[in-house]
Structure 1
Amino acid sequence: MKLINIGYGNMVSANRIITIVSPESAPIKRIIQEARDGGVLIDATYGRRTRAVIIMDSGHVVLSSIQPETVANRFVQTAEVPDEEEQSDE
């Protein structure tokens, strides 16, 4: 399992991420409110401004205070690193 740092020592599973988006649009704000009402919102901002919204395959919505581009870059870097199992086959 690969983890991605989403800020302040918080991690999410890279394999479970569906999308990483900005919270500015009305549809994303609606998704955040519905997740809050449904009890599936995870606020990892530590009281700071929400800059990225991560939607997971479990239906959970994770709020992060780092930029979506930063999270995406960490996601790509994590995907480029081979698994330990793949390395042991060589």
Structure 2
Amino acid sequence: MSLPALLHPLVHLGHGHTVAAACVVAIIDPDSAPVKRLISEAQAAGTLVDATAGRKARAVVITDGAGVHLAAVQPETLAQRYVRREMVE
């Protein structure tokens, strides 16, 4: 991650994990077959970040640069956190 990306506001994914708000491309539900394939492909490629702390993945955050993050909080909750961060900027 480049230094300018660290200067952007962060979105809290839960359990001490954050992601730069400017890097977020999508926040989606993990239960559909295409998203499950995306998770499997990211795991095989080594670009999957599991931020669930052993809990069930309830949201998938896709970032630019092909990053895939699993979160244990609902997509709606993450979207609210993201919108609040965007309003602060």
Aligned to 1:7: 14
Q: Please report the RMSD computed on the Cα atoms of aligned residues, expressed in angstroms.
A: 0.5
Runs of 4+ in structure 1 displaced over 6 angstroms? Answer: none
Superposed displacement of residue 9, structure 1: 1.5
The alignment's TM-score, normalised by the length of structure 2, stands at 0.90
Aligned match for 2:88, one of 72, 81, 86: 81
Equivalent of residue 21 in structure 1, options 16, 25, 28: 28
Which one of the candidate residues 41, 61, 64 is aligned to 1:54? Answer: 61
Unmatched runs of 5 consecutive residues or more in structure 2 = 1-7
- Scaled by the length of structure 1, the TM-score of the pair is 0.89
1:69, distance to aligned residue in structure 2 (A): 0.2
CA deviation digits over 1:16-58, x for unaligned, max 9?
A: 0000000000000000000000000000000000000000101
Letter in 1 for 2:9: K
Which stretches in structure 1 are left out of the alignment for 5+ residues? 83-90
Q: Give identity over the alignment, percent.
A: 45
